[in-house]
Every structure is written in C-alpha cells, then in structure tokens.
Amino acid sequence: MKELYGKALLVDPALTKSTAFTREERQRYGLRGLLPYDVASINKQIDRVLGSMRCKSTAIEKYIFLNALLERNQRLFYRTMIDHIEEIMPLVYTPTVGEACKEFAHIFRKPQGFYITPEDRGEIATILRNWPEEDIRVIVVTDGERILGLGDLGANGMGIPIGKVALYVACAGIHPAQCMPIMLDVGTNNIAIREDPLYLGYPYPRISGDAYRTLVDEFVKAVQSRFPNALIQFEDFLTPHAFEFLDKYGGQVRCFNDDIQGTAAVTLAGIYTSCRITGKKFADLNIMFLGTGSAAGGTAELIVDAFRAAGISKPEAQKRLWFIDRKGLVTAANENIKPRIKPFAQKHPACSFVDAIGEIKPDVLIGATGVAGTFTEAIVRKMAAVNEHPVIIALSNPTSHTECTAEQAYQWSDGRVIFASGSPFDAVRYGNQLFKPAQGNNAYIFPGIGLGIYASSARLVTQTMFLAAAEVLANTVTQQEISTGAVYPALTRVREVSHAIAVAVCRVAVQEGLTDSSLPEDLPGCVKTLMYEPNY
C-alpha cells in the first residue's frame, strides 16, 4: 500500500495520530508546520476527548461528538471507548443509539456503511465491489423495520449496524477494516419519516412479498461471492422475517440473528448466574415470558436446548416455559398463536398476567415487549410473594421502553429481586445495601461469537455455540459482582469475556465438524493474536 504523506496522512482516519506524531515522523512524512509544537501521548489525547465530551449537555450531543471522532481518528476513538467502556458504550449504542436513529437524517455528517436499495436489484454483487476493503469478516445488516422498540425507521436504522460494528471492534478486537455495516433500504411505511424533507432513504413504501425476499436472497448470495469469509449478523428485522431468514440461511452460510440468538444467550447466562444466588437448580426452573416476539421466542428455544443439555426431554422442557401476551396467559385454546410460540402454549385455563404468576409460580420472569411499564408494581410484588428471590429480566430497550426500572424492581420486591435489564441503570440503594445491577447487554455475546467464527473459519453458526457462550459468560461472574446484585460481569471485562467465548466457539466448531482447521496447541494465544489493539 502506498504510504501517505503530509495533509493526506494527517486526515486519514485509520492512519492519523494527530498531535501524537513524533518529531521523527513529522520530518519523515512531511508534517512539519502542519501540527502544533507539542507531541501528545495518546493518553493526553484521551483526556482531551473526555473533557470535550463531558462538556456536552445531552447524550445525543455526545453521540455526535464521538461519531465525529471516529470519522477523524479511528484509533483514538477505539482506545477511548475501550478504556472507558462503561461511560462510552451507552453513548455509542443503547440507549442513545435509539435517539440517534430517530434523528439520523438530521444529524448526518459523513457517509458510513453501505446502502442497498431495490434499484440495485441484479447488481448487488457488482456494487459491493465499491467497498474499499477486501478482507471483510463481519457484516451487520438491517432493513430498519424494527429498530429496538421504536419500530420502522427506514434508512435511519443505519445507526444500528454502525453501532454494532463499533462494539465488534471495541469488545472483541475485530479490526475496523474487517467490519461492514449494511442497510437494506427497501423503503419505509413510516409516513412521517418518509415525508421528512431531510430523509436520506429510499422514499417509497416498503417492498414486500417476493420482491423483498428475492432482494434479500440476492444480497446473501452476493456477500458469499464478494466476501466469502464474512459472517452476516441480521439485526432488527421484523419478527416473522427474522425467523424466516434465520431458518433459511442458518444452515447455508455463516449467519445469525442477534435479536434472537444473542439476546437468548445473554438472557440464559443471567439465568445460570441467578441460580448461584437463589440456590435453585437450573433444571428445576419454571420460566415465564411477557411478549411473543423474536427475542422471547429465540430465548425460549435456546433455554429448551439448555434444559435438554441438563437431561430434560424436549416436551418436558417446553412445559417449563410459559408465555403472556396482551390477552393474558397463552394457552392451547388461544387462536392465532405465532408458530414459534405454539409449542409453549400450555393446557391451562385462561387467566390474567398477575393470576398466572400466582398459579404457575415462575422462578424467572423475562420481559421482551418493547413497552414501558408492563412490569407493574402488582406484577413485581406477586413475583416477590411466590419467590424469596424473584428473578426479573427486563430486556426491552432503549431505556424509555423498559418493562420496569431497576429502582422499581428493588423497591417493589423489598430489595429481594435479582434484576437485570437490556438497558443500563444506575446503582440503587435499598436500605443499607447498594445494588449494582448489570446490563444484560448482547455485547457480552455477539462480539465473541464473531471473533470465534473468524478464528475458527467455521462454515456455520450453531445453537451449540450460543449455549457455550452463555455458559462462558455466566462462569466469568465473580462472587464479588454477585454480592452487589449483578448477574453479569463488569463491562470493563468485556474483551476478556469475548476472548473466552471465541475460544469456546472454536472448540465447538471443531467438535461439530464445521471447520477444516484443527485446534492449535495454544488456542487462547492464537485467538489473542487476532484481537486489534488500537494504539499508536
């Protein structure tokens, strides 16, 4: 690759060191006179970044600032994010990314990622060659139809793949040049967005049916041709499409759906950890879901696999899982049950949500509704009445859509709840104890899965890999963390977790015959060498 000099080097986001270029480098690369006198360390630059960022009064202003830093100095952005991940991740991804997506067209500064529209039909493989990088290992793709709990945001949903790519880099060390965010911009049925004069997307109603499916199919095939080593992560597709594409492509190419499988694995890990607090055996649990979408359905299916691994038959495992929808308990007598939920429709009289808790006495309650406040005081108190330590996992994000807040969960359970959430919450003091509930963040799972697929060259992504990831994640939680009410490790250890998950994924890939590679003698060391460290 041709070396850059002078201003071209200074403004290249992947290569610049800005004020950290040494005297010798300034001489060699024609930078003398283009920089102020001081040669700053990366740590001094980080201090300057944090000072400027913390002066911003709102999260969205901080998001814009950080995105501009990424566009300006890639290594500085990722070093800052890694070293201050607890502060930066909520700004780069949930909950702030939800607001960023809603405002995407209004805060747009510089093109990022790759866009495919219906007008590109028949030419997707050709236009993919416009992407400047060759060795793509991870693609995060969305069609923007079900962004978080916000619904159809069209091309504004590009903020999600951009954010997920940042997490792949920061949390698992996959090199930025090997990651690619993609928007399948097939239109939007959100009229307000479509008629926004600043909207940047395909300004028509969503295509559907065969026109939609054949475009997705062409995209998947084009990726195999252009980037044969790439893993495809499907993100924020409408539930029926999410399951449809996972079923169709999961056995053909390297792909997974984070809303289904990533959420399932992080939730399962939280349940495993909760058993260390309650003293209950995982195989004895009854688990109830509020919501019947992709997150709930995918989590239920993975839990069934986990129960089977614990020696329980599939029919018996399915009987341990219960679902609540808008009408109350989902029973075998219900009509129009979603296909993935039907195996969990129990033979039980119809009843309300709160009555179902009283009758079934679930050990764990999982919310995946996208609707704020659905875990009411009556619900939490009923869970606390039937459990000494009720386990409540409120998965929905952003924060404005969570089923209940951490403070509500602790207050309404008299401080006895084991609480986790999809959105971050501050520590809660109840009585003499300070609880620090950890966020059930998919960032604990999908980056390590991606790194493991990369390291092993596995041809497919399997449920066994997600089961292994959940076990690894649960096993990394320390007793000290548990004592503060956390069922997940500190976010500061996420790269350690991703590395351990990647190692486990490599072992599964070999065991399941999904790779032609054999395990090296020092597998952890080999995986470690693949992890990008953003330093000068």
**Annotated catalytic sites, by residue?**
93, 164
How far apart, in whole angstroms, are the C-alpha atoms of residue 185 and residue 145? Answer: 10
Q: Are 128 and 223 in contact (CB under 8 A)?
A: yes
DSSP letter at 4?
A: P
Give, for 223, the enclosing helix (H) or strand (E): helix 209-226
Cα separation values, 325 from 296, 307, 337, 361, Å: 11, 24, 10, 17
How far apart, in whole angstroms, are the C-alpha atoms of residue 251 and residue 249? Answer: 5
How far apart, in whole angstroms, are the C-alpha atoms of residue 243 and residue 253? Answer: 15
- Could you tell me where the beta strands, DSSP code E, fall in 96-223? 114-116, 138-142, 179-184
Cis peptide bond upstream of 398, omega within 30: yes
The widest CA-to-CA distance across the chain, in whole angstroms, is 80
DSSP letter at 443?
A: G
For residue 445, give every residue at least 6 positions away whose Cβ sits within 8 Å of its Cβ, in sequence order, or none. 258, 262, 265, 266, 269, 466, 469, 470, 473, 501
Q: Which of 209, 103, 110 is nearest to 157 (CA)?
A: 103
DSSP letter at 119?
A: G
CA atoms within 13 A on the CB side of 469: 35
